[in-house]
Every structure is written in C-alpha cells, then in structure tokens.
C-alpha cells in the first residue's frame, strides 16, 4: 500500500531543492555533486520508489509511472543547475530556475504529480 506520509515528505524534500540550488548560485558551490544529484535513486524518495515497499501492482499504475519519470527528470535538471553553477555559467543556471525554466518546470510537474498521487489515496 502506498504511504501518504512518504509522498508528503517527498513533496517537502523536492520543493526544498530550490533553496539549496539558490544557495549554490549565490556561492558558486554546492554541497551535493552533480553526479549524486542526477541519480534519482539516491534520495529517500528515490530509494522508496525503486525499493521493495511498493507492490508490483502499484508499480503498474499511472501515478507511479508518471512520478517515476518526472522524478528522474527533476534530478537531471537539478544536476544541470549544479553543473552550470559550479562551472561559472550562472546565467544558464538562473534561466533554468526562473519562470519558464527547465528546472522550475520539472520541479513543478513533479510536485504536482506527487500531490495528485497522494490525493488519490483512500
């Protein structure tokens, strides 16, 4: 059975990445390597998504498949922002995080999909 609390915590954690990336933009340094950020199975939510706590039946649902795909995209976009920030391409990082940017879009889509999944639970 899908745990609504896990989904709630995932929303909070992934929403918090914006603050972390903004801090990296301000300093030119990030506390997470881009390769680590890119891996969508290393955060607590990713470990849960790929782990044994979700049944095979639940993994066949549209909610699961959508969230898994958007979660991977989110981590790819976060890694790009880290790469741009740490390599001095602040403008590209800022554009990605701005309204209409690829990071902001990926983040919003992920949070929306997790929220819909959570709200669908009994």
Query: What's 114's domain CATH number?
Result: 1.20.120.30
Number of domains in the chain: 1
What mean pLDDT comes out for the span 52-64? 95
Tokens of 87: 């390599």
pLDDT at residue 96, rounded to an integer: 98
pLDDT at residue 1, rounded to an integer: 75
What b/e readout covers 17-27, taking b as 16+ CB neighbours within 10 angstroms?
beebbeebbee
What mean pLDDT comes out for the span 6-34? 94
Rounded Cα–Cα distance for residues 41 and 77 (Å): 15
Q: Which domain covers residue 94, as residue numbers?
A: 4-120
Rounded Cα–Cα distance for residues 111 and 15 (Å): 7
What mean pLDDT comes out for the span 95-118? 97
pLDDT category, 111, cuts 50, 70, 90?
Answer: very high
Residue with tokens 């959508």: 66
Backbone torsions φ then ψ of 101, nearest 5 degrees? -75, 160
What mean pLDDT comes out for the span 104-108? 97
């Amino acid at each position: 059975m899908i745990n609504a609390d896990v989904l709630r915590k995932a929303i909070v954690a992934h929403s918090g990445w914006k603050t972390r990336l903004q801090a990296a933009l301000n300093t030119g340094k990030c506390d997470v390597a881009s390769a680590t950020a890119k891996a969508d199975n290393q955060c607590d939510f990713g470990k849960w998504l790929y782990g044994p706590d979700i049944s095979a039946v639940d993994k066949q649902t549209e909610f699961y498949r959508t969230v898994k795909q958007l979660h991977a995209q989110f981590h790819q976009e976060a890694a790009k922002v880290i790469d741009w920030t740490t390599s001095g391409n602040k403008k590209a990082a800022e554009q990605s995080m701005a309204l209409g940017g690829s990071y902001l879009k990926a983040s919003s889509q992920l949070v929306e999909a997790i929220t819909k999944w959570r709200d669908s639970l009994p």
